[in-house]
Structure 1
């Protein structure tokens, strides 16, 4: 695992943990690209995707108020 990101459906980054040394500029670019890709996917789509040379696994959480 190289990194873990947690962001809202509005695109706000909530948490980021990097396990490899990466330049800040590259981190920001990667976060921006991944947010755009993941948030654009439909809810019924598979939670696995290949991006660059990485395999990305994400979980779409739905908060519902009762």
Structure 2
């Protein structure tokens, strides 16, 4: 299936943006997010950015005060997902301003999530530098 979910979390462990590509109940999402966030935020910079959790491989990257976490299948290429996260941050920077330094207050979080869902077709993300589409295959 490829990418299962994308999370944006602050240093306090609060989810600021969540997009799921498979069905999970609200309780399952909360439990999963809590477990993953605790696991990723507890790691130091010398450890790799890949963590296995349940039936997911979690690839994450920190940008200033925000963590971007992507849950993928076990057979997914970790380095490609790290590049995807970087592309995601560059695109959000272009759309929202400096996302890396942005602390979304709770009301702005909802606006960002709505804008994220409306304007982003992950199959047609364009690079910031070239403007050419990069194929992102979601099964």
TM-score by length of 1: 0.88
How many residue pairs were aligned?
64
Could you say what secondary structure the match of 1:27 adopts?
helix
User: What aligned pairs does 1:1-66 form with structure 2 within 5 A after superposition?
Assistant: 1-62=3-64
Larger proportion of strand: 1
Q: Give the alignment's Cα RMSD to 1 decimal.
A: 1.5
The answer for unaligned runs of 5 or more in structure 2 is: 66-100, 102-139
Could you say what secondary structure the match of 1:59 adopts?
strand
Could you say what secondary structure the match of 1:60 adopts?
strand
CA distance in 1, matches of 2:14, 2:39: 14
Shift, 1:60, TM fit: 1.5
Structure with higher Rg: it is 2
CA offsets per residue over residues 9-54 of structure 1, 9 Å max, x none? 1111110001111111100000000110000000121001111111
Structure 1 stretches of 4+ with a deviation exceeding 2 A read: none
CA distance in 1, matches of 2:23, 2:9: 21
